[in-house]
């Protein structure tokens, strides 16, 4: 693990942790403005977190240890992913952990743990949310893997930093059919996994439609704060993966302070832009029926498969 | 001395038969039969020990070579099993009022004559005498099959005698033709198989073909091979259990031994092609018949009978493959099948006494009612299905290996498929009888009669099973380690395949 | 010499004719009578061969055959027929009607001739030429066995078969050894006795029934 | 006789002694004797397997045994690997059996055959001749069959499962028999040259035979029936060790006996693997019987292994030895990992089912209160099974994916068509596995009990916990330090170009870019969790935890009937894969007698049948039954008919003789 990697890791963790709620704020603000509302302002999410953290921790009756540990696991997985993925620098803090398979598995693990916690409450809401979340996850994880495989085939490695380095070396390959297909698939997956429209509506508590919110219904106080922080960080991480894999421009290749600063700034800017675009898109979209969601995900899985095949054929050609 | 040993297997049973004729069936005399069978076995073993090669006695009337010794061992061991199980069975019958001491005595006499005839059949030096002895077994067993004078018993006996006599008559015709060929060969040989083999090169092939074909089909009748197999399920189903054990375990093998002798001669005259084709067809036919009738079988004694047809078919395939390995496997299969089938028929007899019905769907949950009986039955069926450690596994492996090696690949593959079906049917029927709770068996087992008989029989049903356990254990040991018997097997197979 | 040949052919002809008649007739008593005739013909064959070969042992055998097949066995058959209401009963409608049966027998005779060509070629002699007759009789005996419904007529079929075989044995003029011949005859006698007893038992348990109705044992 | 041989001899001796002891001892001590025997035999196997892997060899020839064929055993590295895995499974299973059998009160036979089963499995891989292999194989099948039947008095399904198992295993045996005999039926050593057609036939036969034992679709029908019905330690032995024998057979036949071969062989194997993994995990995802779910998951994992084996064959065929070694190593590592976590899962599921008195996930739940240790064990196993870090399947599937991804470049045209599909299948399997095991663990062990049995369940006895503990430790070892088995893998895979993966803490692919360190990953996770927890504690104005009621929408306390059941949990997934699973639903509405329009009760039933079983096996069974019914006409009871058979046969025979001369 190089100095570059260490520096990148530390910066990324800090940036993501601190910036994730801000990003959420930005997105809410964008939506509000587009819908003609004033909006709560960018700092609102942070204030919500602070408020929640001050509340007394509450344990719902009949829940076990796992219910209490789950938020921490969710947070930990997300932080580790944020630390090892090459967002700011092309090197990774823990090289052997920056493997695509590992990153995807970590993200899945977070979801799975939260789903188990939701089942553990034994409420109908919890079970419903968990069931829906796992259904989505079961289709999201393979799509995620496939869409990045499409890139790793050309890079000859599934290590994220290797992929990013390769892309940085010749940016042209992003424009290849494989790259485009993979990008579309990854965007769809990101939307589904982070619980945005049209898959899930983060702003609703209507049991017919909610997925993520149903799972965390029983959380309150600091636990809820951790969950909220972790999920906003997940959103950031997913967007970060998206931008770092497809538009890695500005990423730091040396440990020079300037380069690091530039990388950080570029990363923040790109993620913010993506987030804003996502929010803007959501305004013009209605939520899908839950059982139409698998069709969407199946489509994206197919795209990813095509991306892999295309990368092979065109790579051989 | 050796002559005495050779004559003993015939003489001892005859003497015992006379004893029964005079003394009748008493608790004391009841154990004469096992003793005579044991003596047969002992003399066979002694013969195998002292007599290295072939030897004739009583001025060429009887001759013993390795094959004869092995067949005598088969007769002795299975005979011992069946006769040792007889007293308990007869007591059960008498208790149930289906037999009297007079029938018991007649039964014992006929069984002894039956054993003597079979021993004579394998000891005879002349194929003619072998034929006479085999036909004599029909006569001796006819009344055993019809012992219970019910309609079914009489019907079975009639079919048995008519079909067997007709089939064996064909064999006689074949014998006469073979004799004519031999006479024309000018060896003045008569039908002594050793001299026939010696003079084989001079026999007229065209005549020998016809003769051998008729002989194989004819003796095949008695060996339970298709197409004249149909007497077998009826007779085995109706005969008293120990007799079924003897018929299925030994009689078929004795007849098959005659076929082996004929085949050995025919191969010298005609080359292996002719008998190979004939035996393969008969074997496959038997397997097909057995499979077709086992799938939806409703009667467990008939089920065992059809499985005998199957195993005879397997042996026929082995004989068709020919060669030392295949023939050794066939002989081992004879012994293993004799032991397994014998113990199964004995257990089936006890089952009949316990449940009062021979229908498969009349017996349920036997494992929870009569564990020992169920264990014996299950083990026997597994042995028949060719599972290790029972010796049928080893022999079937040998037969199939030889089959694939001698270019009978297609036939062997077809046989394998049929054997899978047969095994599936056997296991399915047996598991229905043995497994589960006997709650279901209440009404099915012939109403109150069945259950009451079960209650009464439960105590003494397990009594007579010691021989069965021993036989199955022997079968299992044989499958893992044949010991000195392996040498006997190979030399016996060698006597059949040697060239003059 | 010609006398020998003619008499031998005459006897063999008689053998075949009686076989055909047995297939033809339906009345059981008639069948048994014909069977006795056939036994005589068989004995005649043996006697002729004995006379021609100056073979006293064969002569003795001929005498034995005469006693066994022309007297003893028919007597047994008549006993089996019993003295009940069905004495001299008829073979009620055989499985294959008489005309067809006769045609079948003709075909079987042809087959016998075709099959036994190598036998006649083995050592050409008047006796060997007649071997096909023996085989034809055997086959038609088997045919009777298959097609006749009554216990007694089946018994007759079995004996017809056996006569054919014995005739073949004589005509091949090959000595099988006294022991075998005695054993064979004894076995046949015993088999017939057994069958006769069984037939009696069947009459007891089933009444005088059609063998084809014996279908208790089936799958 | 080297250590390798003596270990096996010891195993055989111990097992036979244990059998005698079981037969002799009173019922009270039987389970202990049997379990101890199995465990000791397993230990012997483990030792000798490790010895073989480290290069010790031995050859035992018993010409006298098994008449007409003789027996011969010999050591090999591949054999050593499978012997070691089997032994390692037998140890915890044996320990567990002591407590399980005592409380289940199983019959004598159930105890007698346990050590025999273990030892016969140990002997399969070291068989040197066809006859030896067949004998050990059939002994293994027989003993396992009898063990499956152990509880036949309790449930009628047991007999049915036994029938399926017996027939399927016999079918497989016949195929293996035919295949081996076609090669001459002699030694299993390589170097026999057969014509391509014959070799292909042999391989296909072997694939059918061994594949059915490995539970590969469509030959899997027996597996989800037999594995659940057996006592749980037997299920563990079958599902974690016996299925591996199928893999061993395929590898040994394909690479060893036939020495590689045509490309289509391996494409076939890969197809089998892909289909099995997908179908298996789908059925597992919608099944609501805990042990049946585990059985289907076995099919899935064997599918992954076969995918790896097939890929190895393809790479070998196209000359990429390194990739071949990588793929084979991945397959073998997955074999070991699957053995570990499947043992753990079956053992813990068994104790749960035994204590709660049901295997039905819809009736289980809430066990974490009554039996915490078992719950923890199952959770650990579920984590390992669902390819999440830190789990064993995670590492092996990573290796497998690495092999496939790197093969994409060099697989040639066929590779370019097949490998992406394989990668997709693996990815999809991984995703579905997570959902499946979340369902199994969540609805089975967490939440509120759904039946009295589950509510009353108490912790399992010490020996059963000990068995689970051993398996759990094995899982942890393989998950965190897979590096320690890598040398063994390389030797077993027998790669000429040296080990494909190296490193103890960090696995590095040699010859291709790619590294993974499960240990570092886990440590990082733990560190972050600790830190976060610390921060939470250090919060200003922190107050003590307070218990609160669940949110019940203000309508009284929540009952267990309001919970999501396993079935309802899986419903969306099943809806997604409707076309593959083809669930059957039937609704019957009972109306009021007075008015047809008033409904008294509505009953709704939905089952997800094994579709392949319906489409493939039902027709065959029906055909056989029809054959049997038709066959009865052969024996109508008419003596004339019977004689007629003979008469016609003789006539035909004579005609043939007359015509041909």
pLDDT digits (tens, 9 = 90+) for B408-432: 999 999 999 999 999 999 999 999 9
> B152 in contact with D at a CB cutoff of 8 Å?
no
Asked if the Cβ–Cβ distance from D639 to C218 is below 8 Å, we say no
Asked if the Cβ–Cβ distance from D645 to B421 is below 8 Å, we say no
Q: Which pLDDT band holds residue B459 (cuts at 50, 70, 90)? A: low
D528 vs A contacts (CB less than 8 Å): 75-76, 79-80
pLDDT number for residue D497? 45
pLDDT number for residue D611? 85
Please name the residues in contact with D119: beta carbons below 8 A apart, sequence gap of 6 or more: D11, D12, D15, D41, D45
Asked if the Cβ–Cβ distance from D658 to C214 is below 8 Å, we say no
Closest CA to C38 of C80, C63, C74: C74
Asked if the Cβ–Cβ distance from B292 to D634 is below 8 Å, we say yes
What is the per-residue pLDDT across C106-137, written as a single tens digit (0 to 9) for each? 999 999 999 999 999 888 888 899 999 999 99
More confident residue, A23 or A255: A23
Write phi, then psi, for B384 (nearest 5 degrees).
-60, -35
More confident residue, A166 or D494: A166
Number of structural domains (chain A) is: 1
Q: Which domain holds residue A179?
A: 3-316
Asked if the Cβ–Cβ distance from B431 to D162 is below 8 Å, we say yes
> Mean pLDDT: which of A133-142, B1-10, D468-477 is highest?
D468-477
pLDDT at A215 over 50: yes
CB burial string B442-473: b at 16+ within 10 A, e below: eebbbeeebbebbeebeeebbebbebbeebbe
Which residue, among B166, B168, B303, would best test binding to C if mutated, counting the most C CBs under 10 Å from its CB? B166
**CA pair distance D448, A115, nearest whole angstrom:** 15
Q: Which pLDDT band holds residue B450 (cuts at 50, 70, 90)? A: very low
Å from D523 to nearest chain A CA? 10
User: Where does chain C have alpha helices with state H?
Assistant: 2-24, 28-53, 56-65, 73-81, 98-115, 117-122, 126-129, 131-147, 151-171, 178-206
pLDDT number for residue D204? 96
Average model confidence (pLDDT) across chain B: 90
C219 vs D contacts (CB less than 8 Å): 631-632, 634-635
Instruction: Out of B401, B416, B436, name the one closest to residue D156 (CB).
Output: B436
How many residues appear in chain C? 219
**CA pair distance D121, D238, nearest whole angstrom:** 10
Report, as ranges of residue numbers, the positions in chain D whose pLDDT lies below 70. 1, 103-106, 191-192, 411, 495-499, 511
What is the per-residue pLDDT across B311-370, written as a single tens digit (0 to 9) for each? 999 999 999 998 899 999 999 999 999 999 999 999 999 999 888 899 999 998 898 888
pLDDT number for residue C196? 86
CB B62 within 8 A of CB B43: no
pTM over 0.90: yes
CB burial string B27-66: b at 16+ within 10 A, e below: eebbebbbebbbbbbbbbbebbeebeeebbbeeebbbbbb
pLDDT at B294 over 80: yes
Q: What is the ipTM of this complex?
A: 0.93
C115 vs B contacts (CB less than 8 Å): 210
Instruction: Out of D65, D625, D635, name the one closest to residue B293 (CB).
Output: D635
Å from D653 to nearest chain C CA? 10
Asked if the Cβ–Cβ distance from B397 to D645 is below 8 Å, we say no
**CA pair distance B137, B117, nearest whole angstrom:** 6
**CA pair distance B271, B287, nearest whole angstrom:** 25
Instruction: Out of C115, C122, C165, name the one closest to residue B180 (CB).
Output: C122
- Asked which of A182-191, A198-207, B155-164, B294-303 is least confident by mean pLDDT, the reply is A198-207
Q: Could you give the C-alpha distances from D517 to A10, A305, D509, D581, in angstroms and in order?
A: 20, 27, 12, 37
Per DSSP (E only), the strands in D410-505 are 501-502
Average pLDDT over residues B263-292: 94
Q: What are D586's strand-pairing partners?
A: D605
More confident residue, D596 or B87: B87
Which residue, among A5, A52, A94, A109, would best test binding to D if mutated, counting the most D CBs under 10 Å from its CB? A109
C179 vs B contacts (CB less than 8 Å): 61, 126, 128-129
Torsion of CA B166, B170, B172, B174, to 10 degrees: 180
The distance from CA D275 to its chain's CA centroid, rounded to whole angstroms, is: 16
D566 vs A contacts (CB less than 8 Å): none
pLDDT number for residue A1? 55
Nearest CA in chain D to B171: D650
Write phi, then psi, for D516 (nearest 5 degrees).
-150, 140
Nearest CA in chain D to A134: D435
Inspect the structure and tell me whether chains A and C have 3 or more CB pairs less than 8 Å apart: no
Asked if the Cβ–Cβ distance from B431 to D645 is below 8 Å, we say no
CB D563 within 8 A of CB A124: yes
**CA pair distance A277, D273, nearest whole angstrom:** 43
pLDDT at B201 over 80: yes
CB B36 within 8 A of CB B13: yes
Asked if the Cβ–Cβ distance from D638 to C216 is below 8 Å, we say no
Asked if the Cβ–Cβ distance from C158 to B176 is below 8 Å, we say no
Nearest CA in chain D to C150: D640
- What is the bridge-based pairing of β-strands D501-502 and D507-509? antiparallel
- Asked which of A262-271, A294-303, D19-28, D187-196 is least confident by mean pLDDT, the reply is D187-196
**Looking at chain D, which subunits does it touch, using at least 3 CB pairs closer than 8 Å as the criterion?**
A, B, C
pLDDT number for residue B446? 37
More confident residue, D509 or A180: A180
> D163 in contact with B at a CB cutoff of 8 Å?
yes
Q: How many CB pairs under 8 A join A and D?
A: 259
């Amino acid at each position: 693990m190089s100095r570059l990697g260490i520096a990148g890791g530390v910066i990324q963790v800090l940036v993501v942790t601190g910036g994730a709620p801000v990003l959420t704020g930005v997105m809410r603000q964008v939506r509000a403005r587009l819908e003609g509302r004033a909006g709560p302002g960018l700092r609102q999410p942070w204030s919500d977190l602070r408020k929640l953290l001050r509340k007394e921790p509450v344990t719902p009756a009949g829940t076990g240890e796992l219910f209490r540990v789950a938020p921490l696991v969710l947070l930990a997985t997300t932080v580790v992913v944020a630390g090892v993925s090459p967002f700011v620098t092309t090197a990774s803090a823990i090289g052997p952990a920056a493997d695509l398979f590992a990153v995807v598995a970590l993200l899945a693990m977070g979801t799975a743990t939260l789903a188990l916690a939701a089942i553990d409450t034994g409420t109908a809401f919890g079970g419903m949310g968990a069931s829906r979340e796992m259904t989505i996850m079961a289709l999201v994880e393979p799509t995620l893997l496939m869409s990045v495989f499409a890139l790793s085939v050309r890079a000859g490695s599934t290590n994220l930093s290797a992929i990013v380095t390769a892309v940085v070396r010749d940016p042209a390959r992003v424009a290849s059919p494989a790259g485009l297909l993979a990008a579309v698939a990854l965007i769809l997956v990101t939307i589904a996994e982070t619980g945005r429209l049209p898959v899930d509506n983060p702003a609703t508590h209507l049991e017919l439609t909610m997925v993520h919110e149903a799972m965390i219904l029983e959380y309150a106080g600091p636990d809820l704060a951790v969950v909220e922080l972790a999920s906003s960080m997940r959103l950031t991480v997913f967007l970060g993966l998206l931008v770092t894999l497809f538009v890695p421009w500005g990423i730091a290749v040396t440990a020079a302070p300037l380069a690091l600063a530039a990388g950080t700034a570029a990363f923040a800017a790109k993620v913010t832009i993506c987030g804003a675009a996502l929010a803007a898109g959501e305004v013009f979209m209605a939520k899908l029926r839950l059982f139409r969601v698998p069709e969407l995900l199946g489509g994206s899985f197919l795209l990813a498969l095509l991306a892999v095949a295309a990368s092979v054929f065109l790579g051989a050609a | 001395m050796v002559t005495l040993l050779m004559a003993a297997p015939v003489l001892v049973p005859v003497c015992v038969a006379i004893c029964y004729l005079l003394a009748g069936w008493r608790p004391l005399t009841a154990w004469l039969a096992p003793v005579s069978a044991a003596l047969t076995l002992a003399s066979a073993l002694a013969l195998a020990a002292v007599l290295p090669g072939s030897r004739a006695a009583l001025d060429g009337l009887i001759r013993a070579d390795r094959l004869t010794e092995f067949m005598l061992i088969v007769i002795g061991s299975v005979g011992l099993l069946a006769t040792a199980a007889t007293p308990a069975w007869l007591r059960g019958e008498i208790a149930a009022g289906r037999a009297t001491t007079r029938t018991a005595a007649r039964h014992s006499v006929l069984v002894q004559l039956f054993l003597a005839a079979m021993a004579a059949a394998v000891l005879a030096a002349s194929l003619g005498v072998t034929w006479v002895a085999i036909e004599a077994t029909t006569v001796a067993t006819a009344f055993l099959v019809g012992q219970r004078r019910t309609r079914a018993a009489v019907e079975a006996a009639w079919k048995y005698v008519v079909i067997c006599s007709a089939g064996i008559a064909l064999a006689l015709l074949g014998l006469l033709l073979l004799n004519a060929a031999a006479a024309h060969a000018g060896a003045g040989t008569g039908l002594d198989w050793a001299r026939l083999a010696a003079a084989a090169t001079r026999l007229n092939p065209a005549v020998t073909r016809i003769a051998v074909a008729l002989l194989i089909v004819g003796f095949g009748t008695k060996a339970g091979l298709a197409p004249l197999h149909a007497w077998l399920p009826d007779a085995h189903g109706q005969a008293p259990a120990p007799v079924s054990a003897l018929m299925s375990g030994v009689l078929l093998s004795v007849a098959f031994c005659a076929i082996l002798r004929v085949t050995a001669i025919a191969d010298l005259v005609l080359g292996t092609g002719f008998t190979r084709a004939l035996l393969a067809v008969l074997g496959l036919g038997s397997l097909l018949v057995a499979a077709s009738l086992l799938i939806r079988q409703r009667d467990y004694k008939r089920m065992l009978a059809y499985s005998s047809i199957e195993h005879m078919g397997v042996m026929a395939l082995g004989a068709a493959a020919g060669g030392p390995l295949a023939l050794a496997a066939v002989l081992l299969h004879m012994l293993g099948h004799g032991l397994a089938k014998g113990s199964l028929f004995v257990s089936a007899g006890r089952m009949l006494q316990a449940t009062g019905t021979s229908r498969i769907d009349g017996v349920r949950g036997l494992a929870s009612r009569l564990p020992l009986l169920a264990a014996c039955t299950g083990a026997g069926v597994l042995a028949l299905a060719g599972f290790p450690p029972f010796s049928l596994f080893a022999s079937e492996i040998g037969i199939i290996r030889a089959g694939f090696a001698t270019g009978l690949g297609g036939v062997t593959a077809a046989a394998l498929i049929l054997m899978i079906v047969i095994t599936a049917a056997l296991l399915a029927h047996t598991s229905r009888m043995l497994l589960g709770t006997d709650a279901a068996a209440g009404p099915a087992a012939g109403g109150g009669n069945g259950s009451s008989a079960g209650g009464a029989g439960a105590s003494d049903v397990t009594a007579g099973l010691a021989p069965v356990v021993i036989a199955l254990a022997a079968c299992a040991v044989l499958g893992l380690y044949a010991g000195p018997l392996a040498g006997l097997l190979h030399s016996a197979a060698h006597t059949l395949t040697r060239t003059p | 010499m010609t006398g020998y040949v003619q008499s031998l052919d005459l006897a063999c002809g008689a053998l075949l004719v009686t076989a055909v008649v047995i297939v033809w007739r339906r009345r059981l008593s008639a069948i048994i009578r014909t069977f006795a005739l056939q036994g005589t013909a068989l004995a005649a064959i043996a006697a002729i061969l004995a006379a021609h070969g100056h073979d006293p042992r064969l002569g003795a055998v001929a005498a034995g055959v005469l006693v066994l097949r022309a007297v003893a066995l028919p007597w047994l058959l008549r006993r089996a027929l019993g003295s009940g209401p069905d004495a001299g009963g008829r073979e009620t409608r055989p499985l294959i009607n008489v005309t067809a049966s006769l045609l079948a027998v003709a075909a079987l005779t042809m087959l016998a001739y075709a099959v036994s060509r190598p036998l006649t070629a083995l050592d050409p002699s008047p006796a060997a030429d007649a071997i096909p007759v023996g085989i034809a009789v055997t086959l038609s005996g088997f045919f009777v066995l298959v097609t006749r419904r009554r216990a007694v007529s089946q018994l007759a079929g079995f004996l017809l078969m056996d006569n054919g075989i014995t005739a073949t044995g004589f005509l091949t003029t090959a000595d099988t050894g006294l022991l075998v011949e005695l054993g064979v005859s004894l076995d046949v006698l015993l088999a017939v006795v057994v069958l006769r007893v069984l037939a009696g038992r069947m009459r007891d348990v089933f009444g005088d029934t059609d063998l084809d109705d014996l279908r208790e044992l089936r799958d | 006789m080297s250590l390798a041989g003596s270990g096996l001899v010891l195993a055989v001796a111990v097992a036979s002694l244990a059998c005698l002891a079981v037969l002799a001892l009173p019922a009270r001590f039987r389970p202990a004797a049997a379990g101890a025997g199995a465990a000791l035999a397993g230990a012997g196997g483990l030792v000798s397997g490790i010895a073989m892997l480290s290069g010790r060899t031995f050859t035992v020839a018993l010409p006298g045994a098994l008449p007409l064929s003789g027996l011969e055993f010999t050591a090999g590295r591949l054999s050593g690997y499978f012997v070691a895995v089997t032994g390692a499974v037998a140890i915890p299973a044996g320990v567990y059996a002591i407590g399980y059998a005592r409380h289940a009160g199983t019959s004598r036979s159930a105890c007698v055959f346990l050590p025999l089963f273990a030892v016969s499995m140990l002997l399969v891989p070291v068989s040197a001749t066809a006859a030896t292999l067949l004998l050990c194989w059939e002994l293994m099948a027989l003993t396992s069959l009898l063990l499956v039947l152990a509880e036949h008095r309790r449930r009628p399904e047991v007999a049915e499962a036994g029938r399926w198992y017996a027939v399927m295993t016999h079918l497989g045996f016949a195929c293996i028999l035919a295949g081996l005999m076609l090669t001459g039926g002699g030694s299993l050593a390589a170097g026999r040259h057969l014509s391509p057609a014959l070799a292909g036939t042999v391989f296909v036969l072997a694939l059918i035979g061994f594949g059915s034992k490995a539970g590969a679709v469509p030959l899997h029908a027996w597996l989800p029936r037999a594995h659940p019905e057996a006592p749980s330690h037997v299920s563990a032995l079958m599902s974690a060790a016996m299925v591996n024998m199928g893999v061993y057979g395929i590898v040994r036949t394909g690479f060893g006996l036939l020495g590689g071969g045509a490309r289509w062989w391996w494409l076939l194997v890969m197809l089998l693997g892909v289909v099995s993994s997908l179908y298996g995990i789908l059925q597992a995802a919608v099944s609501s019987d805990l042990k049946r779910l585990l059985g289907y998951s076995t099919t899935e994992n064997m599918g992954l292994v076969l995918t790896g084996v097939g890929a190895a064959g393809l790479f070998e065929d196209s000359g990429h030895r390194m990739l071949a070694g990588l793929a084979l190593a991945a397959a073998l590592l997955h074999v070991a990992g699957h053995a570990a976590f499947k043992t753990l899962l079956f053992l813990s599921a068994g104790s749960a089912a035994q204590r709660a008195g049901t295997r039905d996930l819809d009736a289980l739940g809430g066990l974490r209160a009554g039996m915490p240790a078992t719950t923890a064990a199952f959770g650990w196993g579920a984590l390992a099974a669902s390819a999440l870090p830190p789990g064993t399947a995670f590492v092996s599937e990573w290796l497998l994916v690495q092999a496939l991804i790197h093969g994409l470049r060099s697989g040639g045209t066929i590779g370019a068509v097949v490998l992406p599909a394989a990668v997709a299948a693996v990815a999809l399997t991984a995703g579905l596995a997570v959902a499946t095991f979340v369902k199994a663990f969540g609805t089975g062990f967490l939440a509120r009990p759904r039946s009295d049995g589950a509510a009353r369940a108490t912790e399992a006895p010490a020996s059963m916990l000990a068995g689970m503990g051993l398996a759990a430790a094995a899982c942890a070892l393989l998950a965190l330090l897979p590096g320690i088995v890598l040398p063994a893998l390389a030797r077993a895979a027998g790669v000429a170009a040296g080990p494909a993966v190296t490193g103890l803490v960090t696995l590095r692919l040699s010859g291709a870019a790619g590294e993974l360190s499960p240990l570092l990953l886990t440590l990082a996770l733990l560190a972050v969790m600790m830190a976060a927890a610390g921060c939470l504690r250090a919060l200003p104005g922190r107050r003590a935890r307070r218990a609160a009621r669940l949110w019940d929408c203000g309508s009284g306390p929540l009952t267990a009937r309001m919970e999501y059941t396993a079935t309802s949990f899986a419903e969306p997934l099943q809806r997604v894969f409707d076309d593959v699973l083809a669930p059957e639903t039937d609704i019957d509405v009972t109306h009021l007698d007075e008015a047809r329009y008033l409904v008294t009760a509505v009953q709704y039933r939905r089952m997800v049948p094994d579709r392949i079983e319906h489409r493939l096996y039902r027709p065959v069974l029906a055909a056989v039954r029809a054959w049997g019914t038709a066959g009865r006409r052969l024996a109508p009871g008419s003596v004339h008919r019977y004689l007629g058979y003979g008469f016609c046969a003789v006539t035909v025979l004579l005609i043939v003789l007359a015509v041909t001369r």
